[in-house]
Amino acid sequence: MSSHVTVVMAQIDPVVGDISGNVQRIVQACHQAKKERAADIIVFPEMTITGYPPEDLLLREGLYPQVNQALSAICEQVKDIVCVIGYPMKDALGECFNMAAWIENGEIQASYMKQYLPNYSVFDEQRYFNAGNRPCVVAFKGIRFALLICEDIWKISPATQAKEVGAEVVLSLNASPFSAEKHQDRLNMIQRRVDEVGMPVIYVNQVGGQDELVFDGGSFAMDLNGQVCVQSPEFKPALSAVKLVKKTQTIEMLSGEMAPLYEDEARVYQALIMGVKDYVTKNGFSEVVLGLSGGIDSALTLAIAVDALGEDKVEAVMMPFRYTADMSIEDAKKQADTLRVAYQSISIEPMYVAFESALSPLFSGMEPDITEENLQARIRGTLLMAISNKTGKMVLATSNKSEVAVGYSTLYGDMVGGFSPLKDVPKTLVYRLAKYRNQLSPVIPERVITRLPSAELRPDQVDQDSLPDYGVLDAIIKAYVKQDKTPEQICALPCVNPFNLSHEKVKKEVQRVIKMIDRNEYKRRQAAPGIKITHRAFGRDRRYPITSGYQES
């Protein structure tokens, strides 16, 4: 005699702290899964009731009564389907746990406490939670299901514990943030776990943007042979059905929906779109404005903003000065027209002259320097913030990771904004993303991609006057920031010396870049939040002291 169970992976986009709204999303998904997928069990991501990560909301006493009310509401409104849901719990002793509940017939029949609490990268779970130490296995229609939460599946012991007490299928609730290689990392890890414990795994991941983080979804179900039988889409909510059949002692997972997955630049671009859309809309904005310079960073930011929000929600402002090239003005206007966004051009010349006149008594006898360059950027930042204040549009900053790393940007100037889409996108990737976007439809003028990059803050300026070649710069940043390599280790990398320079010249350049990275931490602390797409982003991911006497030997 065989058992048949349909498990639906509920890949939804909760809003952190919106507990009542999240309950509505959960209940709606339950009813839809039952009606449209004939679901027996629906599995939601980690901490769905509060959204993830709730951060210091978990320290608010008032949070937990609301969570308890939410659980009661779900029990009351969902009785014809098993609901496996993630939430935080505070016990009678005041200790907090990251939980998963098995709700059946309108009651919590079993619950599980997360055992492994990540405390690295963007995760701070040991700040809030205590660790559980017991498996949770529930029998349903002849199949024994184990509950695990996110980090638990990355370690072998929780799955092994569950197997030892009779588990046959793992239900893994996850809030796993996006990075460029993350989906393949998950697949490789789950394949290892399946091989080790001999159980199929249903891996349910959150989707949506939350501050700097993007959750890419991509939930999947893997059978005993390590084959993905059901694949949910990336970057959008979905209810995907997984059909299980138990014959004697064997669990068979039937093939089902296989959503196509993105690759390389396409995957990163979708993450940037989702990050912008959710950050803007979840924070109560509907429109954005940005400075469009005729350069590649602002061009890519404009394309992302339009793809995320729609052409009618985006305004571009060109702010030319005496050093602005004609081609920059022409290309900015061309892109704005192509994308059909609102477009303004405001010369900063009269404002600069007024500032220069006011400051001339103080600067008498001093030669022009970077002060005058920064003044141009700060005038532009002031104009954008004025437009934002008057219209209610959020300003999008346009700096990329390479500039953010070495401080090649102006504090209170081109760094102003409510959100910075390219903050974790290296310059070399900016070019690849621009070319990718133009493959979909040509919206960025080709000349913007092929011309030498320039801040246009002084005559005949190009970025490489102040910085190494961007390929070399990005290689140094990756080695130092992401991989924590020493200067000597960095100098030995072939990608840091593609032009076969002497060791002393390479060493000098590496030391110069490292010094720029370290001394510009104060700028990064004051920068707008931006989307994390790499394994180690600035901000919550890489935390470095501003005041530090440390030097690499």
Q: Concatenated DSSP letters for 352-419?
A: HHHHHHHHHHHHTTPPP-HHHHHHHHHHHHHHHHHHHHHH-PEEBP---HHHHHHT-S-TTTTT-SSB
Tokens representing residue 168 in the block: 């046959």
Collapse the DSSP code of 290 into the 3-class scheme (helix H, G, I; strand E, B; otherwise coil) and give the result. strand
Angle (CA) 187-265-310 rounded to 5° is: 115
Torsion angle of alpha carbons 351, 353, 359, 365, nearest 10°?
A: 160
For residues 241 and 8, is the Cβ–Cβ distance under 8 A?
yes
Catalytic residue among 46, 287, 403, 509: 46
**DSSP strand pairing (238-247 vs 228-231):** unpaired
Across 282-295, b (16+ Cβ under 10 Å) vs e yields: beebebbbbbbbbb
Across 70-80, b (16+ Cβ under 10 Å) vs e yields: bbebbbebbee
Q: Is position 46 annotated as part of the catalytic site?
A: yes
Closest CA to 335 of 415, 441, 253: 441
d(CA 477, CA 406) in angstroms, rounded, equals: 9
CA distances from 198 to 61, 168, 231, 521 (A): 42, 8, 20, 47
d(CA 405, CA 389) in angstroms, rounded, equals: 29
Catalytic residue among 30, 136, 150, 229: 150
For residues 311 and 335, is the Cβ–Cβ distance under 8 A?
no
First to last CA, the chain: 70
Helix, strand and coil content of the chain, in percent to the nearest 5, comes to: 40, 20, 40
Angle (CA) 10-15-20 rounded to 5° is: 90
CA distances from 116 to 30, 34, 154, 163 (A): 28, 32, 9, 17
Q: Is position 96 annotated as part of the catalytic site?
A: no
Closest CA to 41 of 130, 134, 141, 183: 141
State which H helix or E strand residue 221 sits in: strand 220-222
Residues 6+ apart with CB under 8 A from 95: 130
d(CA 264, CA 385) in angstroms, rounded, equals: 34
For residues 437 and 443, is the Cβ–Cβ distance under 8 A?
yes
Closest CA to 553 of 484, 469, 488: 488
Cis peptide before 118 (omega within 30 of 0): no
Catalytic residue among 30, 83, 104, 114: 114
Name the residues annotated as catalytic.
Answer: 46, 114, 150
